[in-house]
Amino acid sequence: MGSTGAGVSEPTETGTVEIVIRDLSKIFGQGAAAFHALSDIDLEIRTGEFFTLLGPSGCGKTTLLRVIAGFEQPSTGSLGINGKEVAGLGPNARPVNTVFQNYALFPHMTVAQNIGFGLKMQGRPRSEVEATTDEMLRLVKMEAMAERKPSEISGGQQQRVALARALAPRPRVLLLDEPLSALDLKLRKEMQGELKRLQTETGITFIFVTHDQEEALTMSDRIAVMSAGRILQLGSPHEIYHAPSERFVADFIGDTNFLDLPVASVDGSQATVTLPGGKETAARLPQGYLPVLGETVTTVIRPEQAQTVAPGQGDMDGVVENAVFFGTDTHVHLRLDDGQPFILRRQNIAEAREPAPGTRLGLTLSPGALRVLKG
């Protein structure tokens, strides 16, 4: 099944590579009805990192997780875990455990029996199963619920049990399939911190699937943004947010302004673009992309990377169309002089009035914030 270039290395240690995926694809169906759920996936996940697969529903992130878990087999390519090729092996033969979206707790077993199940199946001695179960109950603070059935505990508690059950056999990798999506907002925030704590305490590699960009940004060491079965960008939350490689990534992560601007000059990794109103400003170029002079390029800038000044005093001017109050900040929707829309996020540090529609404002862009997207 595909190349075996991934495998044959000695057991890994912290800071090394845990999972190696090469040229992996997953095709459902055949012929004209074939659906490419995953295409050309090349990915290395490091030992002990909190890795997130982020994308809209149907982007292939859950399929990739299921391929790593062993519930689906790749159509082509190789998948190595801890230096061992696992493509073709079933889920019970892989050192990975899954936290399912609906938790999938065994309803006829107690919380303690659920947590001990994996160890029992591995044939560990009873004393070890009991000791580890107790340890896991403490880790997720569920000691008092050990003898309850899953139907007798709350959704948040079920979530903790599902985590403990998956962590108990000490897998090399923990897979989490949108585990927080069923919880309400407050509990979700709490569990985000809890997950991060568990990951740090256990040192286990976490692969987390979510469509929630905020969740991805706050928890991850690295994020892979996926769309239509491909990984579009791989990087730290900072890189993904501040240096999106393409329009889809910029659009999917946070609010973004897209400005189509003509290039005035190019100098290495930097270009000079002409802003509406005629002023020129620097814009960073993505690696390996050189626009032609005079060509119109798409640039991005986040709504919080601009400040208001008096009209004519900034880099460009805009007319207020409306302003929406969000509590901590206000989103001001502007129309630039060349007709392009621009959203400005203004933090409500002082109790300021929203600018009235029709007001003309000057805008200063944060230095270095403007980036050119690959054509």
Among 51, 117, 206, 342, binds another protein (CB under 8 A): 117
> Which SS3 state, helix, strand or coil, does residue 312 take?
coil
Contact 221, 234 (CB under 8 A): no
Q: Could you give the C-alpha distances from 343 to 207, 238, 239, 242, 332, in angstroms and in order?
A: 34, 21, 21, 16, 6
By the rule CB under 8 A, 118 interacts with another protein = yes
Nearer to another protein, 169 or 303 (CB): 169
Contact 91, 168 (CB under 8 A): no
By the rule CB under 8 A, 97 interacts with another protein = yes
Shortest separation between residue 87's beta carbon and another protein, angstroms: 17
Give, as ranges, the residues between 168 and 197 that touch another protein (CB under 8 A).
Answer: 169
Q: What is the DSSP string of 206-271?
A: EEEEES-HHHHHHH-SEEEEEETTEEEEEE-HHHHHHS-SSHHHHHHSS--EEEEEEEEEEETTEE
Q: Could you give the C-alpha distances from 301 to 38, 258, 298, in angstroms and in order?
A: 30, 7, 10
Interface characters, 56-75, with another protein (x: CB under 8 A): -------------xxx----
- Which amino acid is residue 144, in one-letter code? A
Q: Could you give the C-alpha distances from 31 to 27, 28, 78, 84, in angstroms and in order?
A: 10, 10, 23, 32
- Residue located via tokens 């990794």: 269
By the rule CB under 8 A, 107 interacts with another protein = yes
Shortest separation between residue 191's beta carbon and another protein, angstroms: 19
Backbone angles phi, psi at 168, to 5 degrees: -55, -45
- Segment contacting another protein by CB under 8 A, of 93-101, 130-138, 198-206, 207-215: 93-101
Nearer to another protein, 87 or 275 (CB): 87
Shortest separation between residue 243's beta carbon and another protein, angstroms: 36
Among 17, 43, 89, 104, binds another protein (CB under 8 A): 104
> Which SS3 state, helix, strand or coil, does residue 153 take?
coil
Q: Could you give the C-alpha distances from 91 to 63, 70, 306, in angstroms and in order?
A: 14, 4, 50
Shortest separation between residue 132's beta carbon and another protein, angstroms: 13
Give, as ranges, the residues between 119 and 148 that touch another protein (CB under 8 A).
Answer: 121-122
H helix intervals, the chain = 61-69, 111-121, 126-139, 155-167, 185-202, 213-219, 237-242, 247-252
By the rule CB under 8 A, 30 interacts with another protein = no
Among 57, 108, 288, 326, binds another protein (CB under 8 A): 108
Among 22, 61, 160, 165, binds another protein (CB under 8 A): 165
Nearer to another protein, 70 or 74 (CB): 70
By the rule CB under 8 A, 11 interacts with another protein = no
Shortest separation between residue 97's beta carbon and another protein, angstroms: 6
Shortest separation between residue 356's beta carbon and another protein, angstroms: 48
Alpha-carbon gap, residue 89 to 251, rounded angstroms: 38
Nearer to another protein, 164 or 271 (CB): 164
By the rule CB under 8 A, 206 interacts with another protein = no
Contact 41, 7 (CB under 8 A): no
What tokens appear for 75 in the block?
Answer: 């159509």
Residues in binding contact with another protein, number by CB under 8 A: 23
Nearer to another protein, 118 or 303 (CB): 118
- Which amino acid is residue 11, in one-letter code? P
Among 106, 147, 255, 260, binds another protein (CB under 8 A): 106
Residues within the interface to another protein (CB under 8 A): 69-71, 90-92, 96-98, 100, 102, 104, 106-108, 117-118, 121-122, 151, 165-166, 169
